[in-house]
Amino acid sequence: MSAERLSMRKVKEVLRLRWSLGMSQRTIAKSCGIGPTSVAEYLRRAERAGLKWPLPPDLGEGQLERLLFPPPLSIPASQRPVPDWAKVHQELKRKGVTLYLLWEEYQAETRDGYGYSRFCELHGEWAGKLDLVMRQEHRAGEKLFVDYAGQTLPVVDRKSGEVREAQVFVAVLGASSYTYAEATWTQGLPDWIGSHVRAFEFFGGVPEIVVPDNLRSGVSKVCLYEPDVNPTYQEMAAHYETAVIPARVAKPRDKAKVEVGVQVVERWILARLRHRTFFSLAEANQAIRELLDRLNERPFRKLPGSRKSLFESLEKPVLQPLPQSRYEYAEWKKARVNIDYHVEFEGHYYSVHHQLVKKQVELRITAETVECLLKGKRVASHRRSRVKGGHTTLPEHMPSSHREHASWTPSRLIDWARETGPFTAKLTEAILESRPHPEQGFRSCLGIMRLAKSYGAERVEAACERALTIRARSYKSVKAILENGLEAKPLPGSEQDVPPIEHANVRGAAYYRSEEAAPC
């Protein structure tokens, strides 16, 4: 039996199992011992030939073969219909669309078109003539590439005449190359996050992935395989339900889209603004927005349409919706709870429950609040204060009156200070009495006693004596005395504080005690 006849028998069996028994293509493939792709191809050819089950009884296997596998047409390649490669290229950006699907649609429109393999070859040749960035096939709504331009924008202060260089943030969507740009004062974390928020609002939606360069503001630790994303950046991404995947180190193709986007912004926006003088950041951003609209509406050279038209038809419909509220900028910092059950941020002290003494917590700081979290759970929340050296203490965080927490009490602290010396103990007591709550002075007292490790107990004791004399009741005062060696100098107001006058015409006290002294 010939291989062709055996093949036709399998084709008939495939049609029977599918059209008569309704089996899945995968099950049919297992039953007939052929691949799922072959099953799909036989079914497609049978439908295209207009066959139905049961097959006509007079349809021989030879006739079936000619219906399903007609000989190729001897049409010159120059006369075959050429696919719309620009349309093919754009359709490939849509989710789930493959080159095979587009070839099937091309075949459905014309029966004398190219075969699949030749179709792929011709598409590859056409795509090879495009720029690198245009060749990259980014799925619609998938990636947003972000970075700063290397070129800055000068802004002049009207009053002082000082020129300040503004940074230029650039964001480019992968599938449409739709571009956003704005000027900010810095590349710091607050400006970096704010630019992302405004970019999402400009696009009217959020992509699945944000791809930054390995910028310090966005990436805490640069690593080829697992870069650490800044906690604030990560929180912002979670708020907008997107993912941050930094570009790999030394992999320029990962960020080719934004690098070309930056180049386009520099040539089509910043170069056109080089002769203009701006006196505010808002004025500069207004000029950038006007040129940005022109850039996005400018027609492509090698593809139909523009960035804006491609964005409107391709990417905007598939972007994720914006959340109901804007992201509120917050910074994160690790802190350890001191024995006074307070944590410090920018010189101010915030209380947590006294049972968390010596625990490491995370601080989440916004413009208005300071939150303390332990293993992701909030354990304290305070209104943010800018008072240096001040304390924000909640009554429920304080220990009970007998103060059994962690064995730290004012009396124990004073006894410990007495090991350094009586003046150290006296200054410790004075510091604790000067605070609304004694615990607020624990930190200063511990700092003073620890100075003995660097300067020795004798010098610290002398420094404490001087601090008591001048009523300087703080750790910083004692440290300044030691750093400047003031503890060795006479105390203010003492007899030793006034040096004797030495002069040839001054007799001195000894003259009047001498027996040879002449009577007045």
3-state secondary structure at position 135: helix
- Domain membership flag for residue 323: no
Range of weakest confidence among 250-259, 421-430, 458-467: 250-259
- Domain membership flag for residue 153: yes
CB 67 within 8 A of CB 49: yes
Do 149 and 203 fall into the same domain?
yes
Do 230 and 379 fall into the same domain?
no
As for how many domains the chain has, the answer is 5
Share of the chain above pLDDT 70, in %: 79
Give the pTM.
0.54
pLDDT at 434 over 60: yes
pLDDT at 511 over 60: no
What does the pLDDT look like over 439-456, one tens digit per residue?
A: 677 878 888 888 888 888
pLDDT at 515 over 70: no
Q: Are strands 228-229 and 219-221 parallel, antiparallel or unpaired?
A: antiparallel
Taking the C-alpha atoms of residue 28 and residue 133, their distance in angstroms, rounded to an integer, is 43
pLDDT at 494: 59
Taking the C-alpha atoms of residue 32 and residue 29, their distance in angstroms, rounded to an integer, is 5
pLDDT at 505 over 90: no
Do 161 and 265 fall into the same domain?
yes
What does the pLDDT look like over 373-422, one tens digit per residue?
A: 998 889 999 999 888 888 888 888 877 653 444 456 677 777 778 888 88
pLDDT at 253: 58
- Domain membership flag for residue 61: yes
Residue closest to 127 by CA, chosen among 115, 118, 138, 136: 136
pLDDT at 121 over 60: yes
Do 165 and 254 fall into the same domain?
yes
Q: What is the average pLDDT value for the chain, to the nearest integer?
A: 79
For residue 300, what is the domain's CATH number?
A: 3.30.420.10
Task: Count CB neighbours of 278 within 10 A.
Answer: 19
pLDDT at 293: 92
Do 304 and 344 fall into the same domain?
no
pLDDT at 38: 84
pLDDT at 281: 93
Tell me what the mean pLDDT of segment 239-256 comes to. Answer: 73
Do 55 and 121 fall into the same domain?
no
What does the pLDDT look like over 124-162, one tens digit per residue?
A: 776 666 554 444 567 888 889 999 998 999 999 888 889
pLDDT at 226: 41
The residue range of the domain holding 33 is 3-68
Share of the chain above pLDDT 90, in %: 20
Do 261 and 311 fall into the same domain?
yes
Do 369 and 430 fall into the same domain?
no
Tell me what the mean pLDDT of segment 50-64 comes to. Answer: 81
Do 160 and 237 fall into the same domain?
yes
pLDDT at 135: 44
Range of weakest confidence among 13-17, 224-228, 310-314, 495-499: 224-228
pLDDT at 167: 94
- Domain membership flag for residue 503: no
Range of weakest confidence among 1-5, 238-242, 437-441: 1-5
Do 161 and 306 fall into the same domain?
yes
Residues in the chain: 520
Task: Count CB neighbours of 122 within 10 A.
Answer: 17
CB 311 within 8 A of CB 293: no
pLDDT at 352: 92
Do 414 and 357 fall into the same domain?
no
pLDDT at 219: 58
- Domain membership flag for residue 54: yes
Do 443 and 370 fall into the same domain?
no
pLDDT at 510 over 60: no
